[in-house]
Structure 1
């Protein structure tokens, strides 16, 4: 993939070719969209926002055209654009202008927060909206396929779908952006990505707001669904600072990278690890786990 990233930097045409191929392939293999988004981020960061926008438009055109030919619907393309491409481009522009991973993360948080508020205003009761969608779209498919499921669990899951999707979107967008930044570092500034990520520190006002929303969501989220959904974003934002702390400490202590592998395995298996890492990220603003010299 580094070879593809390097190829995309050889000129405007090569960049467009790389994005078009990845975007087209992602229509059949969705995770490839991650690489398309990362290349768009790389183009934006390395060249300029205009060239990044051109590559984004080509990716969008390919997505729409391919999906219309295959399924006759453009909605899968809209989902792909919002999942891998457009938000990553916006965050890449912010990163290019500010040279701050924290500011880019904050921009992602604001985008999803605005989207959540709009979603709640449009549908009202989000739990009922998801239940209706399940009954009309998914349940007939499951019934016709003979898939056995516990119907009593569905209402409980419907309460958490919006929050989980929002947190997942932020994690996905920012991870794609970090991949693009890593490409840039490996190709042009070896070692710089590690230094930048180890110094990831959110602005104090963002930390206070995220902490307040996360705590309020945990205690009052059952009664105020929007607050509950926003708390997932707040926890995800603080989690990234916690992950930065973990990476930095492993480097400072010259510890084995197996510690980080174990951390990511636990994060994948135990959702509670998000809250633990978010707490570490929050406390880092006062305890300074990484030390003063590392942050300078």
Structure 2
């Protein structure tokens, strides 16, 4: 991966060509976002905008031609978050701004067509057995369809936000490899959300429970910053305690096979850390100051 970063940073032409080529392949749009972010982080806003405008051409094609705005939104999001990091506002601020922007997207963009959405919801209700298991009436089923639709739109947006954050992490890692070895690891291990951010997610859940169901797509999006912060806390603790990296790999394997349960656990850990600062409590005490005469013969 270092070779990719070195190739991209050789010249503006290589950066633009690489960003455009990878943006044309939806699977590689994550790499295109990382390239835009890397140029923005290293070379500044002016160079970053040039690469962004070129990479936006495939994004416009997918949006106007195929009705899929995800590539264009991801590229714009990468530029905005890169500007946040470039201005030294830190990862916690970047995650919260990303979650805010993604919440607006979740409320305004419908990712699935009405027909596809109806098929997915019917699959959950009928083949999932929810309608028969709980003996739901027709009106209850219609209400459940509406709730599922809103929640599913939020989940898709949350996944898009996770992929965008992965792009930012890749760009920051590339930058560390080339110009600041160990810088990304230090930043990520220190990631901790402010205490007030832990109140937003419960507050939105209370508002949704009180009848404001239109806010339901926001809930999965607001989970994402805490999920990332929980992973950062685990990495930070492993770094402080010098644990074997095998257990960290095992954590990710467990996360793949028990995603809902592990996600809840990581979010709860991140919420607690925003109040208690576990890294500070677990860090070894500083060495005592030298006394007068120490080291003298």
Q: TM-score range by the shorter chain?
A: 0.7 to 0.9
Matches within 5 A, 1:166-181: 166-181=157-172
TM-score, with structure 2 as normaliser: 0.78
* 1:283 correspondence with 2:278: no
Residue 8 (structure 1) aligned with residue 4 (structure 2): no
Q: Which residue number in structure 2 is paired with residue 132 of structure 1? A: 114
The whole-number CA distance in structure 2 between the counterparts of 1:284 and 1:151 is 38
Contact kept? 1:45, 1:92, Cα under 8 Å: yes
In structure 2, the CA distance between the partners of 1:254 and 1:224, relative to structure 1 (3 Å rule), is same
Deviation of the 1:153 alpha carbon: 4.9
Q: Map 1:219-258 to 2 at 5 A.
A: 220=209, 223-258=211-246
Tell me, yes or no, if the aligned pair for 2:103 and 2:217 is still in contact at 8 Å. Answer: no
Work out which of the residue numbers 81, 85, 96 in structure 2 matches 1:95. Answer: 85
| Cα distance in 1 between the residues matched to 2:31 and 2:239 | 27
DSSP-derived class of the 1:255 partner: coil
Q: What is the aligned counterpart of 1:57 among 53, 56, 80?
A: 53
2:28 pairs with 1:32: yes
Q: CA–CA distance in 2 between the matches of 1:13 and 1:74? A: 28
CA distance in structure 2 between the aligned counterparts of 1:232 and 1:170, rounded to whole angstroms: 10
Tell me the equivalent position of 1:200: 191
Structure 1 residue matching 2:266: 3-state secondary structure: helix
- Structure 2 residues not aligned, in runs of 5+: 129-144, 287-297
Q: Which residue of 1 aligns with 2:132?
A: none
SS at match of 2:231: helix
Report the alpha carbon displacement of residue 248 of structure 1 after superposing the two structures with TM.
0.8
1:2-60 Cα offsets, whole Å, 9 max, x none, are 21211111222221122122223x1xxx2211111111110000001121111111111
Q: Cα 1:151–1:242, aligned 2, differ >3 Å: closer, same or farther?
A: closer
Q: 2:61 aligned with 1:73, yes or no?
A: no
Q: Name structure 1 gaps, 5 residues minimum.
A: 124-128, 140-148
* 3-state SS in 2 of match to 1:73: helix
Q: Which residue of structure 2 lines up, in the alignment, with residue 105 of structure 1? A: 95
Deviations 1:85-130 (A, max 9, x none): 11111111111113401111111011012223445xxx8xxxxx96
CA contact (8 A) 2:34 2:168 kept: yes
Label 1:130 to 1:31 Cα distance change in 2 as closer, same or farther (>3 A). closer
Measure the CA separation in 2 of the matches of 1:50 and 1:133.
42
Would the aligned equivalents of 1:236 and 1:274 in 2 still touch at CA under 8 Å? Answer: no
Residue 265 of structure 1 aligns with which residue? 253
Q: CA deviation at 1:63?
A: 4.3
Q: Is the 8 A contact 2:195 2:275 kept in 1?
A: no
Find the counterpart in structure 2 of residue 160 from structure 1.
151
1:248·1:290 contact (CA, 8 Å) conserved in 2?
yes
Query: CA deviation digits over 1:237-264, x for unaligned, max 9?
Result: 1111111110011111211222222222
Larger Rg: 2
Aligned pairs, number: 266
Q: How many Å apart are 1:202 and its aligned residue?
A: 1.6
Work out the CA distance in 1 between the residues paired with 2:278 and 2:151: 32
